[in-house]
Structure 1
Amino acid sequence: MNVLVWLAGILLVLMIMVGGKSGARSFFSLFLNFGVIFFTMFFMLDPSANPILITFIASTLIGCISLFYINEVNSKTIIAFISTIITIVILLSFIVIVSDKLMIQGFGEEEEEAIAGLSLYIGVDFMKIGASVIIMSTIGAIMDVAISIASTMHEVFKHNPVLSKKELFKTGVSIGRDILGTDTNTLFFAFFGGYLALLIWFKDLEYSIGEIVNSKIFSSEMILILCAGMGIALVIPIASWINANFLVRTTKKTEKI
């Protein structure tokens, strides 16, 4: 416990040294987001609750904390928030359909021993829980891309206000292309790094490549990675389009005044 406190203290000091007040807010936002996730899990235990709706509400709260609390309320954070919410709605709808078609909900045969002494009648829709897990795992990356595009496009337009809506949109997409590759790889290695023990387990069980690819656990993890990549790819044009429209419209209104 003492080690955890020391590590938290070192992280706080480093974040304040680098980010100042914004760094301190970023540190405390970790605890606020943890609280949101904790209550999300608590509400999902209710059999009558809809995990998809709860996930959407939780994502909205996390977006407010991560964007408005850390970076304050301004045009950049508002646009990034709207772009994030639109992307999450599209992604949630898609994930629910994909999860249902692939039938990856529930437990795989590798987990039989672990759950042998547990009751399986817990009244939870595992398909919707799976969709919730994917969204909660990707919301951070989606917000990161959205705010990066919004900040850069605002800065570009500030130094070159004669750019048209089309040119601004192309600029946003160009910025997004540079972010897309690195963020997708980051998610890929984060997920596979966390499940390295699973791959070693498969090797220990002498699974063939075909058995690994067709296993429920591996499929669910691959869906997590692929859907996360899709979320990042989706938010780029959405954020670019909203930013381009906002910046050009605001300039026209200012000129009329």
Structure 2
Amino acid sequence: MNVLVLLAAILLLLMILIGGEKGARSFIALFFNFAVLFLTILFMTDPHVNPILLTVIASVLISCITLFFINGANRKTATAFFSTIITIVILLFFILFVTENAMIQGFGEEETEELSAFSLYIGVDFAKIGAAVVIMSTIGAITDVAISIASPMREILNHNPQISRKELYKFGISIGKDILGTNTNTLFFAFFGGYLGLLIWFKDLSYSIGDIVNSKVFSAEMITIFCAGIGIALIIPITSWITAYFLTKTSENN
């Protein structure tokens, strides 16, 4: 049996055993999100398409699949969705500014040998492609933090309907503080895990610390990590405030 099929079967089995129906939905959502990413890349090769607009649309679709398909349409997923969209819009302008001034678009000198046989005159804006890559890299972490905050906030309101909006907001911030460091570390170690071979290559080429830091490949990945970390930090107060406002307002109306 193919190793990929075997690993996918083990993952599906564990997700169903532990998560039940929601675990099965989470497994199916992986393929839906992959289809969205594949179509995004497919359309992004068209020179007449704006990569930024296409990425924003893809981010909205991924958020809908991750939140509504897996967890259903309810108050916690709705507030998490709105918080995610607001954070992406805020982060979008920051990412566009950073990528344009940092000039991380295109390819580094370490990649020129593999690309020497291909033409780079493909008619796409590499600066926008670079910004799109950073945006897509942050959407997963932002959505994860949003639902991780909104879900326990709804539970605390169900168990304590008399809680005030301010106290509920503080509860959301408290949760965010607990997951802020762990999620940021996850992004950081994911980079080192994925680029361990590149770092070993830097060592074999006797790169100095300055050479590594100024390498386009390294800088692009670190900027992606920092932007994702900024997105995680922003989503915490945004989700806490939106969730506290809408949940208490709905509770008062009922």
Which residue of the partner structure matches residue 187 of structure 2? 187
Which residue of the partner structure matches residue 69 of structure 1? 69
Structure 1, unmatched stretches of 5+, are none
Check if 1:114 corresponds to 2:110: no
Amino acid paired to 1:214: N
Amino acid paired to 1:83: S
Q: What root-mean-square deviation, in Å, do the aligned CA atoms of Structure 1 and Structure 2 show?
A: 1.1
Instruction: State how far apart, in whole Å, the 1-side matches of 2:79 and 2:211 are.
Output: 44
Q: CA deviation at 1:252?
A: 2.0
Amino acid paired to 2:29: S
Report the more deviating stretch, 193-202 or 132-141: 132-141
Amino acid paired to 1:35: A
Q: CA deviation at 1:112?
A: 2.1
Instruction: State how far apart, in whole Å, the 2-side matches of 1:69 and 1:113 are.
Output: 43
Instruction: State how far apart, in whole Å, the 1-side matches of 2:170 and 2:127 are.
Output: 38
Structure 2, unmatched stretches of 5+, are none
Amino acid paired to 1:110: E
TM-score normalized by the length of structure 2 = 0.97
Instruction: State how far apart, in whole Å, the 2-side matches of 1:113 and 1:149 are.
Output: 45
Which residue of the partner structure matches residue 23 of structure 2? 23
- 8 Å contact kept, 2:22–2:71: yes
Amino acid paired to 1:155: E
TM-score normalized by the length of structure 1 = 0.96
Q: CA deviation at 1:251?
A: 2.0
- The total of aligned residue pairs comes to 254
Q: CA deviation at 1:162?
A: 2.0
Which residue of the partner structure matches residue 143 of structure 1? 143
Moved over 2 A (4+): none
Check if 1:161 corresponds to 2:161: yes
Matches within 5 A, 1:163-178: 163-178=163-178
Instruction: State how far apart, in whole Å, the 2-side matches of 1:71 and 1:251 are.
Output: 21
Which residue of the partner structure matches residue 101 of structure 2? 101
Which residue of the partner structure matches residue 228 of structure 1? 228
Q: CA deviation at 1:161?
A: 2.0
- 1:97-147 Cα distance to aligned partner (Å, 9 max, x none): 100011111112222222222101011111111111112122111111100
